[in-house]
Chains A and B, each alone.
Chain A
Amino acid sequence: MAIAGGTVALGDGSEPIQGGIVVIRDGRIVAAGRGVAVPAGAQVVDATGKWVTPGIVAGFSRVGLVEVDAVDAANDVSARNSPFSAAIDVAPAINPKAQPIAVNRAGGVTRAIVAPGTAKSIFAGQGAVIDLGADMNPITRARAFQFVEFGEDGTQDAGGSRAAAHVLFRNALREAADLGRRTGVSSSGAARAATANDQRTLPLEDQPDNSLLAAGRTRPQDVLLTRFDAAALVPVLQGRQLLMVHVERASDILQTLALRKEFPNLRLVLVGAAEGWTVAKDIAAAGVPVIASALDDLPNSFEELASTQSNIGRMRAAGVHVSIGMIGDNEARQVRQARQYAGNLVAIARLPGATGLTWGQALETITSAPAEAVGLGGEIGSLRPGRRADVVVWDKDPLENGAAAQLVLIDGVQQPLSNHQTKLRDRYRTLPEGALPKAYDR
Chain B
Amino acid sequence: MSNKSWLFVPAIAVLVGCASAAPPPPREAAAPAAPPKTYSRDPYPSTYRAYPGVLTAIVGGTVFDGEGRRIDNGIVILADGVVRAVGGADTPIPDGATRIDARGKWVTPGVIDIHSHLGDYPSPAVEAHQDGNEVTGPVHPDVWAEHSVWPQDPGFTRALMNGGVTSLEILPGSANLFGGRSVVLKNVPARTVQQMKFPGAPYGLKMACGENPKRVYGSRNQMPGSRMGNIALDRATWARAVEYKRRWDKYERDGGEPPARDIGMDTLRGVLAGEILVQNHCYRADEMANVIDMAKEFGYKVAAFHHAVEAYKIADLLRDNHICAAMWADWYGFKMEAYDGIEENIPLVHKAGGCAIVHSDDPNGIQRLYQEAAKAQAAGRRIGIDVPDEVVWTWLSSNPARALGIDARTGSLRPGKMADVVLWNGNPLSVYTRPERVWVDGALMYDANDPRRRPVTDFELGQPGEGDVK
Residues of A within 8 A of B (CB): 66-71, 99-100, 103, 250, 275, 278, 295-302, 304-310, 329-330, 333-334, 337, 340, 343-344, 346-348, 350-354, 399-404, 420-422, 424-425, 428-429, 431
Q: Does B11 contact A (CB under 8 A)?
A: no
Of the residues A278, A334, A422, contact of B330 by C-beta under 8 Å: A334
Q: A275-B464, A401-B375 are in contact. List 19 more A-B contacts (CB 8 A).
A: A70-B211, A250-B464, A297-B367, A298-B154, A299-B459, A302-B126, A310-B469, A333-B332, A334-B331, A344-B431, A350-B434, A353-B469, A354-B469, A401-B371, A402-B378, A402-B381, A420-B339, A425-B344, A429-B348
Residue pair A299, B432 in contact (C-beta under 8 Å):
no
Residue pair A340, B464 in contact (C-beta under 8 Å):
no
> A425: which B residues are within 8 A, CB to CB?
312, 342-344, 348, 383
Within 8 A of A (CB), among B285-317: 312-316
Q: Bound complex: CA of A346 vs CA of B434, how far in Å?
A: 11
Q: Bound complex: CA of A67 vs CA of B336, how far in Å?
A: 9
Residue pair A301, B425 in contact (C-beta under 8 Å):
no
Residue pair B378, A353 in contact (C-beta under 8 Å):
no
Top 7 nearest A-B pairs (CB, nearest first) are A402-B378, A343-B431, A401-B374, A306-B464, A306-B465, A353-B469, A70-B335
Q: Does B341 contact A (CB under 8 A)?
A: yes
Of the residues A69, A100, A431, contact of B316 by C-beta under 8 Å: A431
Residue pair A428, B375 in contact (C-beta under 8 Å):
no
CB distance from A352 to the nearest CB of B (A): 6
> A300: which B residues are within 8 A, CB to CB?
123-125, 363
Residue pair B336, A400 in contact (C-beta under 8 Å):
no
Q: Does B8 contact A (CB under 8 A)?
A: no
Q: Does B155 contact A (CB under 8 A)?
A: yes
> A351: which B residues are within 8 A, CB to CB?
434, 448, 469
Between-chain CB contacts (< 8 Å), 27 pairs: A68-B333, A70-B334, A70-B335, A278-B465, A298-B154, A298-B363, A299-B124, A306-B465, A309-B469, A330-B334, A333-B333, A343-B431, A343-B432, A344-B368, A344-B371, A350-B425, A351-B469, A352-B469, A400-B430, A400-B432, A401-B375, A401-B431, A402-B374, A402-B378, A424-B340, A425-B343, A425-B348
Q: Bound complex: CA of A269 vs CA of B391, how far in Å?
A: 46
Residue pair A69, B334 in contact (C-beta under 8 Å):
yes
Contact size class for B?
Answer: 35 or more
Within 8 A of A (CB), among B209-259: 211
Q: Does B162 contact A (CB under 8 A)?
A: yes
Residue pair B158, A297 in contact (C-beta under 8 Å):
yes
> A421: which B residues are within 8 A, CB to CB?
332, 340-343
Residue pair A305, B383 in contact (C-beta under 8 Å):
no
CB distance from A121 to the nearest CB of B (A): 20
> A70: which B residues are within 8 A, CB to CB?
211, 334-336
> A310: which B residues are within 8 A, CB to CB?
468-469
Residues of B within 8 A of A (CB): 123-126, 154-155, 158, 162, 211, 312-316, 330-336, 339-344, 348, 352, 363-364, 367-368, 371, 374-379, 381-383, 425, 429-434, 448-449, 451, 459-460, 463-465, 468-470
Q: Bound complex: CA of A69 vs CA of B333, how far in Å?
A: 7
> B352: which A residues are within 8 A, CB to CB?
431
CB distance from B28 to the nearest CB of A (A): 62
Residue of B nearest to A431 (CB): B316
Output the residue of A309, A344, A402 with the most chain B CB within 10 A.
A402
Given A68-B334, A351-B434, A401-B430: A299 touches B469 (CB 8 Å cut-off): no
Residue pair B465, A308 in contact (C-beta under 8 Å):
yes
Residue of B nearest to A353 (CB): B469
CB distance from A353 to the nearest CB of B (A): 4
Residue pair A100, B333 in contact (C-beta under 8 Å):
yes
Q: Bound complex: CA of A84 vs CA of B157, how far in Å?
A: 44
Given A297-B158, A298-B158: A400 touches B431 (CB 8 Å cut-off): yes
Of the residues A68, A297, A305, A428, contact of B348 by C-beta under 8 Å: A428
Residue pair B434, A347 in contact (C-beta under 8 Å):
yes
CB distance from B237 to the nearest CB of A (A): 26
> A404: which B residues are within 8 A, CB to CB?
378, 382
Of the residues A68, A301, A354, A401, contact of B126 by C-beta under 8 Å: A301
> A297: which B residues are within 8 A, CB to CB?
158, 162, 367, 470
Of the residues A103, A346, A354, contact of B432 by C-beta under 8 Å: A346
> A68: which B residues are within 8 A, CB to CB?
333-336, 339
Residue pair B383, A278 in contact (C-beta under 8 Å):
no
Output the residue of B154, B334, B448 with the most chain A CB within 10 A.
B334
Residue pair B371, A340 in contact (C-beta under 8 Å):
yes
Residue of A nearest to B317 (CB): A431
Residue of B nearest to A103 (CB): B332
> B460: which A residues are within 8 A, CB to CB?
299, 305
Residue pair B125, A301 in contact (C-beta under 8 Å):
yes
Residue pair B335, A69 in contact (C-beta under 8 Å):
yes
Residue of A nearest to B312 (CB): A428
Q: Bound complex: CA of A353 vs CA of B463, how far in Å?
A: 18
Residue pair A298, B123 in contact (C-beta under 8 Å):
yes
Given A298-B364, A310-B469: A347 touches B432 (CB 8 Å cut-off): yes
Residue pair B431, A399 in contact (C-beta under 8 Å):
yes
> B377: which A residues are within 8 A, CB to CB?
402
Q: Bound complex: CA of A295 vs CA of B431, how far in Å?
A: 13
Residue pair B463, A299 in contact (C-beta under 8 Å):
yes
Q: Bound complex: CA of A71 vs CA of B382, how far in Å?
A: 32
Residue pair B123, A299 in contact (C-beta under 8 Å):
yes
Q: Bound complex: CA of A295 vs CA of B366, how far in Å?
A: 12
> B332: which A residues are within 8 A, CB to CB?
103, 333, 421
> B363: which A residues are within 8 A, CB to CB?
298, 300
> A329: which B residues are within 8 A, CB to CB?
364
Output the residue of A296, A298, A422 with the most chain B CB within 10 A.
A298
> A354: which B residues are within 8 A, CB to CB?
469
Given A343-B432, A401-B431, A428-B313: A278 touches B333 (CB 8 Å cut-off): no
Residue of B nearest to A274 (CB): B465
Q: Bound complex: CA of A402 vs CA of B383, how far in Å?
A: 13
Q: Bound complex: CA of A103 vs CA of B344, how far in Å?
A: 14
> B364: which A residues are within 8 A, CB to CB?
295-296, 298, 329
> B463: which A residues are within 8 A, CB to CB?
299, 305-306
Residue of A nearest to B334 (CB): A69
Residue pair A305, B470 in contact (C-beta under 8 Å):
no
Of the residues A275, A304, A340, contact of B431 by C-beta under 8 Å: A340
Residue pair A347, B433 in contact (C-beta under 8 Å):
yes
> A304: which B residues are within 8 A, CB to CB?
124
CB distance from A191 to the nearest CB of B (A): 39
Residue of B nearest to A427 (CB): B313
Q: Bound complex: CA of A68 vs CA of B383, how far in Å?
A: 27
Q: Bound complex: CA of A27 vs CA of B431, how far in Å?
A: 33
Q: Bound complex: CA of A402 vs CA of B430, how far in Å?
A: 9
> A431: which B residues are within 8 A, CB to CB?
313-316, 352
Q: Bound complex: CA of A347 vs CA of B330, how far in Å?
A: 21
CB distance from B131 to the nearest CB of A (A): 16
Q: Bound complex: CA of A347 vs CA of B429, how far in Å?
A: 12
> A299: which B residues are within 8 A, CB to CB?
123-124, 154, 459-460, 463, 465
Residue pair A309, B470 in contact (C-beta under 8 Å):
yes
Q: Bound complex: CA of A301 vs CA of B127, how far in Å?
A: 11
Q: Bound complex: CA of A337 vs CA of B371, how far in Å?
A: 11
Output the residue of B125, B154, B375, B470 with the most chain A CB within 10 A.
B470
> A352: which B residues are within 8 A, CB to CB?
448-449, 469
CB distance from B336 to the nearest CB of A (A): 6
Of the residues B124, B340, B382, contact of A301 by C-beta under 8 Å: B124
Q: Bound complex: CA of A99 vs CA of B340, how far in Å?
A: 11
> B433: which A residues are within 8 A, CB to CB?
347
Q: Bound complex: CA of A309 vs CA of B368, how far in Å?
A: 13
CB distance from B430 to the nearest CB of A (A): 6
Q: Bound complex: CA of A361 vs CA of B219, how far in Å?
A: 49
Q: Bound complex: CA of A333 vs CA of B434, how far in Å?
A: 27
> B330: which A residues are within 8 A, CB to CB?
334, 337
> B382: which A residues are within 8 A, CB to CB?
404
Residue of A nearest to B379 (CB): A402
Q: Bound complex: CA of A304 vs CA of B463, how far in Å?
A: 10
